[in-house]
Amino acid sequence: MNIRNLPPPDLTRTSFLIIEDFESMRAILRDILSRAGAKQVALAFNAANAINMLERQRYDVILCDLHLGHGKNGQDILEEARHRALLAPHAVWLMVSSEKASEMVTGTVESRPDDYLIKPITETLLFARLGRQMAKKQLLAPIEIAMREREYLKALRLAEAQIDNSRGQTPLTWELKRLKAELAMQSGEHDMAKTIYEEALSYRELPWARLGLAKIHYNENRFNDARRELKEITDGNRAYLEAHDWLARTLDKLGDQEGAQEVLQRALTTSPRAPLRQLQLGDIAQRRGEFDTAAFALKNSIELARNTPLKTSQAYVALSQVQLAQNDTDAALKTLSTLSIDMHDNAGARLLAEAMQIPVRIKTGERELAEKLARQLGPALKKEAQHLQPEALFNLAGPLLELGETETAGALMSSVIGNNHEHPEYLQRAQAIFTEAGLEDEGREVVQGAARAATDIMNRGVKLSREGKLEEAIKLTREARAKMPNNTRLLLNHAYLLIAWMERHGREAKLNEEARNCIEMARKLKPEEKRTGELLNRLELLGNDFSFSA
């Protein structure tokens, strides 16, 4: 049947939210929907209005214009809605725009709407896209619900059931297999995911499958293999931007920062509205000493993320350091002031905004002011060091040593080493800071002491566990976690002990949540860590019979 002859869908029970700043366009879209029986149609004219409505109701379909005047645009709303879980599992998000430029379309696809429509929108096209997406979302909704509940094994089995029920090698079958592979990766089942990716590639050249293989290679530290797969994708597909991000990350691991920078710049030419990619470019360009490029990228990252959940103090701190390297101290101070304003509700960000003034004030010759800041902020820095970004602590340690604040500098470096004791580059960098300050022996004591303390705690926990003294081991790692909250290995060891205790004595909600928090923090710190998925599986199996309807 020709698409033009398809009857309109029955939308009498479907709820809609139209987000559009032009009243005439809102009316046009509402009239089109009403001709298919839609009675529940809500209207929003800007981002604030839309977010407020999404907070109060879960809509089946959102038709959102990309450009909404000043403030947040459609992409920003979608990112916030997903970040805050304001969308129903079956919700369909259609992004609408009159913009036909390829980079804008690609940039919008970056935010992963379910579909993209270019104005003028015809009734036939809208209903065709809407019907297809609604049918797909309804089918995948149970899997999405399980994923939101962090029941990845259940989601995996639901996906397998859907695959068994599908017939032939349809596009939906491969979408389900792709989802199954992603869930397998999430669960630490890399071999299962690899089998699916290889099967897909034997069927035909599917970039998502090749990207999946590249991720597995990367996670297993086979960076040359990952680079080979990623170049296979990116050399012939400029618009597959996720592959460009992974290629840049891989090249960086291989020591090819120049190549990584080129890849990111190429991707940003295609889709410039990507704050995390701009931040990644700024970081690499800064390390390469290309400060103009770094400053430009970091400014873009800040502006693009300002009204989104992607906002982070890292971009502001990095930009202030780049501006300091360019001898533009006024700009560096302005950036730090902006940080304190933009992230006024974040105590750690406010502390960094003040503390990062110390190296700037030294540069401007305001030594007394730098000394005053160091004395005033020293206690807070030592107390909060575990929760501050390592790069900022490295940048503060040298100036603090220069001012004679050896104790504070030592506490900051102990914190960094404690959380990263298995990373030799961190130890070497911390030692170099002390050596440059003429305090080589003091530095060796701090660095080796912090690394030894972290290793000793790990070994003691393992020993207690092997002796069956789980309660003692849990107490030890819980106390250590308070001192080293960002140590990935410690987080996973603590989660392992909690799970082992519950497997022996029965599930307890409080311990279950503690273990889950540890695993998810570890995944955030080290996404490629396979052990996180394996522990999530064990946690999910506690008291779960996986009864469900396919």
Task: State the CB neighbour count (10 A cutoff) for residue 278.
Answer: 24
Q: What is the pLDDT of residues 490-502, one digit of tens each?
A: 999 999 999 999 9
Cα(274)–Cα(419) distance, integer angstroms: 29
Give the pLDDT of residue 123.
87
Coil/strand/helix, residue 275: helix
The domain of 91 spans: 3-148
Residues of the chain with pLDDT under 50: 1-3, 102-104, 107-109, 545-550
Does residue 414 sit within a domain?
no
DSSP class of residue 122 equals P
Pick the last residue of a domain from 90, 125, 148.
148
Does residue 196 sit within a domain?
no
Asked if residues 91 and 81 have their Cβ atoms less than 8 Å apart, the reply is: no
Does residue 274 sit within a domain?
no
Does residue 382 sit within a domain?
no
CA distances from 23 to 34, 41, 167 (A): 16, 14, 45
Give the pLDDT of residue 547.
44
Pick the last residue of a domain from 148, 180, 208.
148
Task: Enter the pTM of the model.
Answer: 0.83
Give the pLDDT of residue 550.
37
Does residue 394 sit within a domain?
no
- By C-alpha distance, which of 474, 457, 456 is closest to 465? 474
Residue appearing with tokens 């004679």: 404
Give the pLDDT of residue 140.
85
Pick the last residue of a domain from 148, 166, 181.
148
Does residue 157 sit within a domain?
no
Domain containing residue 142: CATH number? 3.40.50.2300
Q: What is the pLDDT of residues 274-290, one digit of tens each?
A: 899 999 999 999 999 99
Give the pLDDT of residue 5.
53
With a CB cutoff of 8 Å and minimum separation 6, the contacts of 360 are 320, 324, 329, 332, 333, 336
Cα(434)–Cα(451) distance, integer angstroms: 16
Percent of residues in the chain assigned helix, strand, coil, to nearest 5: 70, 5, 25
Q: What is the pLDDT of residues 53-70, one digit of tens each?
A: 999 999 999 999 988 877
Residues 524, 529, 533, 539, CA torsion sign: negative
Domain containing residue 506: CATH number? 1.25.40
Does residue 20 sit within a domain?
yes
Cα(198)–Cα(194) distance, integer angstroms: 6
State the DSSP string of 415-482. HHHHHTTT-HHHHHHHHHHHHHTT-HHHHHHHHHHHHHHHHHHHHHHHHHHHTT-HHHHHHHHHHHHH
Coil/strand/helix, residue 118: strand
H or E element, residue 276: helix 275-287
Does residue 183 sit within a domain?
no
Number of domains in the chain: 2
